Amino acid sequence: EAGVVQSPRYKIIEKKQPVAFWCNPISGHNTLYWYRQNLGQGPELLIRYENEEAVDDSQLPKDRFSAERLKGVDSTLKIQPAELGDSAVYLCASSLGLAGPTDTQYFGPGTRLTVL
């Protein structure tokens, strides 16, 4: 079974440029998560989708970040414009969405963003 796929794996951009990350979750997984992991820290949730609906985007900096999950499958996370402080690893995860708070989340390898 294929895992969570993310692309690109690495991205280097200059500040004020836009950037987008793509995620393909495990087939059949209804719930999709985007996390940001700063160096030396644990992942922090940015947004969570149940099918196509963003059910929790309270931690998403909406002035520059946006996300979408069309047709309830793939998802894209965008930053425009990027700032130096956005340098981090952006992780996508998915889960079946059937077990509530005991659901197991499966993580992709992440996109490492460097903003110069």
Partner 1 sequence: AQSVTQLGSHVSVSEGALVLLRCNYSSSVPPYLFWYVQYPNQGLQLLLKYTSAATLVKGINGFEAEFKKSETSFHLTKPSAHMSDAAEYFCAVSILLNYGGSQGNLIFGKGTKLSVKP
Residues that bind partner 1 (CB under 8 A): 3-4, 31, 33, 40-45, 48, 50, 55-56, 58, 91, 93, 95, 100-110
Q: Specify the residue, 51 or 80, whose C-beta has the smaller distance to partner 1.
A: 51
The distance of closest approach from Cβ of residue 89 to partner 1 in the complex, given in angstroms and rounded to an integer, is: 9
The distance of closest approach from Cβ of residue 81 to partner 1 in the complex, given in angstroms and rounded to an integer, is: 27
Burial of 99 (0-12, 13-18, 19+ CB in 10 A): exposed
Dist CA 93 CA 37 (whole Å)? 13
What's the N-to-C CA distance of the chain in angstroms? 37
Q: Specify the residue, 81 or 106, whose C-beta has the smaller distance to partner 1.
A: 106
Torsion of CA 72, 91, 29, 26, to 10 degrees: 110
Q: Specify the residue, 81 or 109, whose C-beta has the smaller distance to partner 1.
A: 109
